[in-house]
Structure 1
Amino acid sequence: MQRIRYSRYFKTSFILLDVFVIAAVFVYFFLRNNDQLFSEEASEQNILSIILLIFYWVLLSSRTKLYSVARNITYTIYLERLVTHIFIFIFGVILLGKVSNNEFLQQDRFLVALSLFILLLLIKSTLFFTLKYIRTLGLNYRNIMFLSNDSSSEILKNILTERKDYGFKIHDYPNVDQLNFEKLVAFWKENGIHTMYISTEFKNYSKEQDSEVHGLAEKHKVRISLIPSVIENNFFQYDLEYTETQPILVQSKFPLDYLTNIVLKRTFDLLFSFLILVLICTWLFPIIALLIKLNGKGPVFFVQKRYGYHDEVFNCIKFRTMYINGDSARKTTEENDKRITKIGKFLRKTSLDEMPQFLNVLKGEMSVVGPRPHMLLVDDFYKLKIGRYSIRSLVRPGITGMAQVNGLRGDTGDVDMKMQKRILADAFYVKNWTLSLDLVIIFKTIFLVIGGDKNAN
């Protein structure tokens, strides 16, 4: 029996709440500056300003996808959309105040903008996490199933199982290898299946069976989602376009293929790195250097060759966190690695060992945000094993990145599975880069540095 889904009502409720907050902020400032808000002289102009800005907010959401929030979206991506939307909206508020004759907007537009930013960011973030928490309690879930049992399916199933806040309840379908249409339809009805996942890597069904499954799913209102093969497919490098009504796959053009975005990102990297080096590293580096020296013999810095932009090899600089050993270029770290010094454990936990890489950023070898550079032997191994691994080299490697702020760090556990997830995260970053996404990743990294990263080793 199909469960009632309440998510469809959330969008309308969230829009109405945002409209109320925006209107309330403007009314508050109107009243503070003019007790005659609804006087004949002011009412028409002020009310028209509110209506125009609310209309602008709602219209802008169709571009920023602010209300198209999938249940499996991460806070990193949601925050990037939210910050982008609010900044563009605030720019509209400031612009309207500059070109209009509304005295209030001309006087207090910056204070209004700041109030809107803080209020909307707090309210929408609170609602986001509240909804996530509700789903961890087993409410507002969506029934799903997998009709394939290959490696790509296992990666997705593992993610959805771990992330209770996504609100997916997985129903295991018995005998995936032996397809029976009547039993499949009965399984859908019995468990109220909303979405069925099938991997393109799974080859156990004939074309006729595959066509029959799609026909039955359409008839019984079961959505089918295809899982591309992480190992084989080149889906990252193609976008769907149309020539009249004929769909075609064309080579993707990533955001950082455009000169304006390249200049914007590089300018931000230079300014941010310069400020960090001057304001923080000038006093932090001597302290860390002293602690490293007190902890044992050896150099303060550790330099290792890594692959960078377009696979060019560069010298990646870090604070030394290990005792001097001959395996640093051949062996990755492991849990409770005896090579790591006491101060090294702290530096790794807080990611302070990466701070010298701001020098790499100034030299143009790295970026503040991007895919983390791996050891050469790790890159050489996984380039042959994981499809689309080389997409990471299309941008400069970063001090922090999408994978790191989403817990995909460290070399413990199922390393192959974790590496495949990292590549998916890095590929997402390359395809969806924006400056606001970089800012969100930086803020999340700061919180990880302060609280310590449990995945660091």
Structure 2
Amino acid sequence: MVHRYATFFKAINLTVDYLVLNVSMVAAYLILDDSLIVWINNKNYLPVVLVFNLIWLLSANITGLYEQVLNKDSVKTYRSVFQTYLLFVCLICVTILIIIGTKAYFITREYLFYSIVLFGTMLAFWKLIFLTIRRSDRAMLNDSRKVVIVGAGRAGNELRNYFRNNPFRGYELLGFFDDEVSRITEKNLYLGNTTTCMDYVLNNQVDEIYCALPYSEHDIIERLMIDADKNLIRFKIVPEYHEYIKKPTYLQSFGNIPIISIRPEPLENMLNRGTKRFFDVLFALFIIIFVFSWLFPILAIIIKLETPGPIFFVQLRSGRDNKPFNCYKFRSMRVNSDSDKVQATRSDSRITKVGAFLRKTSLDELPQFFNVLIGNMSTVGPRPHMISHTEQYSQLIDRFMVRHFLKPGITGWAQVNGLRGETKTTDAMLERVEADVWYLENWSFILDMKIILLTFWLSVKGDKQAF
């Protein structure tokens, strides 16, 4: 059952990687200055350590280095390590050499070179050791568990198919117990009725019982549960709701009453929401003060010179909880009567020359940082749609409105995954909605940082979907 050890080995990998990183930094310091006492007391050195560690965490999250550490083969593992290391080096160089500067903390280029090279060498050697250990212990990690299923209805049969299709999980299904023999499609898997279950389990060293009986059989369920507890057998209940919820769910308890949420929403937590809002305000102020302030007059003059009309394009769009708000952009089209109904298309005759550049580089979205400051948008989130599109697609796509649980964003998970621009078909919009809902369910501050970095990279590299 590799999955039972995945979290443990992920933690081991993360811990050792950080140990290797910090040892390499200390070693580089001692190579250049062999005074250990100076290193310990050097207050200028501590911020550098923090920067290195945070950037490694960010790089690893962007590349998914610690995902599936027990399943990825050796080639994929080293490829992930190399990608993460390369991104780490780039971010370190940008952060230290350009943003922070080497003089502020007395960092030398020699120190950067030694620490980065030492870290890369030691990291490669450690991953080789890990892969060797992992290979030798595969048999131990795949310890199987004997299980039986009580109830051969739809839930029980779907569970059987899951065990059969996922052998790496390590479950050895011995068979079914059910009071109706006719429900067993594979007769060789029938083990008896529910009254004989515990005797079989004890005589055959079964590890776990999965009960897939309907709630109406609560007397049988309770008896089996009590007997399993008495005999140290793990007892697990397969609830009936799985028939209409086709995805992982989130379970809460109100006293002894289980409450099932059909999706996790990290941003329902006030701390998470406060963290996101705090970052939004700081980031928006930074962009407005250091980018928008000097770029605005230049773009304003060019826009006015090319075509008559306002500098800003203001459009009513759908916000959080489907409340409309005025969304601001630099005008990238000639003034026209279709702007509130028709999406921009490739080679759209309405787009001006400067507008094409603004849209290609996403600079037309800069005024939306004022929306962020006001509070009706976030830096990262689902892109806000025109009111007409919200009304149209909410009737065609079941989960379309779910994306409105969040504030709309200047950029989002859909956009950095190539799902921006014109949506010619309902299927194209469905893909975008699925990406937005995935973001809602998997939000983290690190994920926001990843999306912002990818957005910046796509703006520099050029996104073929931006037009």
Matched residue, 1:418 = 428
CA contact (8 A) 1:310 1:395 kept: yes
Q: Distance in 2 between matches of 1:123 and 1:412?
A: 43
Matched residue, 2:450 = 440
User: Quick check: 1:27 aligned with 2:31?
Assistant: no
The Cα of 1:353 is off from its aligned counterpart by 0.7
Q: 1:12 to 1:438 in 2, by over 3 A?
A: closer
The Cα of 1:397 is off from its aligned counterpart by 0.7
Which secondary structure does the structure 2 equivalent of 1:346 belong to?
A: helix
Matched residue, 1:158 = none
Q: What is the aligned counterpart of 1:335 among 330, 346, 349?
A: 346
Which secondary structure does the structure 1 equivalent of 2:459 belong to?
A: helix
Matched residue, 1:92 = none
Q: 1:233 to 1:209 in 2, by over 3 A?
A: closer
1:301 counterpart letter in structure 2: F
Larger Rg: 2
Give unmatched runs, 5+ long, in structure 2: 1-8, 39-48, 93-104, 125-153, 172-243
User: Quick check: 1:427 aligned with 2:437?
Assistant: yes
Which secondary structure does the structure 1 equivalent of 2:451 belong to?
A: helix
Which secondary structure does the structure 2 equivalent of 1:336 belong to?
A: coil
Matched residue, 1:259 = 270
User: Quick check: 1:273 aligned with 2:284?
Assistant: yes
C-alpha RMSD over aligned residues: 4.9
User: Quick check: 1:286 aligned with 2:284?
Assistant: no
User: Quick check: 1:379 aligned with 2:377?
Assistant: no
Q: Distance in 1 between matches of 2:290 and 2:421?
A: 29
CA contact (8 A) 2:284 2:369 kept: yes
Q: Distance in 2 between matches of 1:450 and 1:282?
A: 20
The Cα of 1:214 is off from its aligned counterpart by 4.8
Deviates more, 1:248-257 or 1:443-452: 248-257
Q: What is the aligned counterpart of 2:371 among 348, 352, 360?
A: 360
1:256 counterpart letter in structure 2: L
Which secondary structure does the structure 1 equivalent of 2:395 belong to?
A: helix
Within 5 Å, give how 1:65-104 maps onto structure 2: 68-70=66-68
CA contact (8 A) 1:255 1:432 kept: yes
CA contact (8 A) 2:329 2:365 kept: yes
Matched residue, 1:456 = 466
User: Quick check: 1:345 aligned with 2:356?
Assistant: yes
Q: How many residues align?
A: 314
CA contact (8 A) 1:233 1:387 kept: no
CA contact (8 A) 2:419 2:432 kept: yes
2:464 counterpart letter in structure 1: K
Q: Distance in 2 between matches of 1:433 and 1:10?
A: 20
The Cα of 1:23 is off from its aligned counterpart by 2.6
The Cα of 1:436 is off from its aligned counterpart by 2.4
CA contact (8 A) 1:306 1:313 kept: yes
Q: Distance in 2 between matches of 1:348 and 1:217?
A: 46
Which secondary structure does the structure 2 equivalent of 1:436 belong to?
A: helix
Which secondary structure does the structure 2 equivalent of 1:302 belong to?
A: strand
CA contact (8 A) 2:318 2:324 kept: yes
1:304 counterpart letter in structure 2: Q
Matched residue, 1:402 = 413
Within 5 Å, give how 1:46-445 maps onto structure 2: 68-70=66-68, 119=116, 213-214=161-162, 216-217=164-165, 235=247, 238-240=249-251, 249-250=260-261, 252-411=263-422, 415-445=425-455
1:308 counterpart letter in structure 2: G
The Cα of 1:418 is off from its aligned counterpart by 2.5
Q: 1:265 to 1:216 in 2, by over 3 A?
A: closer
Matched residue, 2:180 = none
2:382 counterpart letter in structure 1: P
Give CA deviations for 1:137-158 in whole Å, capped at 9, x if unaligned.
xxxxxxxxxxxxxxxxxxxxxx
Give CA deviations for 1:58-88 in whole Å, capped at 9, x if unaligned.
xx99xx9975424799x9xx98xx99xx99x
Which secondary structure does the structure 1 equivalent of 2:299 belong to?
A: helix
Q: Distance in 2 between matches of 1:256 and 1:369?
A: 12
Report the TM-score, using the length of structure 1 for normalisation: 0.56
Q: Distance in 2 between matches of 1:259 and 1:219?
A: 40
Q: Distance in 2 between matches of 1:28 and 1:339?
A: 58
The Cα of 1:249 is off from its aligned counterpart by 3.6
The Cα of 1:454 is off from its aligned counterpart by 1.4
Q: Distance in 1 between matches of 2:428 and 2:315?
A: 23
* Higher RCO (Cα < 8 Å, 6 or more apart): 1
Q: Distance in 1 between matches of 2:266 and 2:161?
A: 37
CA contact (8 A) 2:327 2:368 kept: yes
Q: Distance in 1 between matches of 2:14 and 2:282?
A: 37
CA contact (8 A) 1:350 1:451 kept: no
Q: 1:110 to 1:422 in 2, by over 3 A?
A: farther
Q: 1:217 to 1:272 in 2, by over 3 A?
A: closer
The Cα of 1:207 is off from its aligned counterpart by 8.5
Give CA deviations for 1:225-255 in whole Å, capped at 9, x if unaligned.
xxxxxxx96748x325799xx9984354522
Q: 1:218 to 1:343 in 2, by over 3 A?
A: closer
Q: 1:341 to 1:217 in 2, by over 3 A?
A: same
Which secondary structure does the structure 1 equivalent of 2:394 belong to?
A: helix
CA contact (8 A) 2:322 2:404 kept: yes
CA contact (8 A) 1:334 1:412 kept: no
Q: 1:248 to 1:265 in 2, by over 3 A?
A: closer
The Cα of 1:312 is off from its aligned counterpart by 0.7
The Cα of 1:371 is off from its aligned counterpart by 0.9
The Cα of 1:417 is off from its aligned counterpart by 2.6
The Cα of 1:440 is off from its aligned counterpart by 2.0
2:269 counterpart letter in structure 1: Y
Report the TM-score, using the length of structure 2 for normalisation: 0.55
Percentage of matched positions with identical amino acids? 35
The Cα of 1:11 is off from its aligned counterpart by 11
Q: 1:454 to 1:19 in 2, by over 3 A?
A: same
Q: 1:235 to 1:313 in 2, by over 3 A?
A: farther
Q: Distance in 2 between matches of 1:327 and 1:276?
A: 31
CA contact (8 A) 1:306 1:375 kept: yes
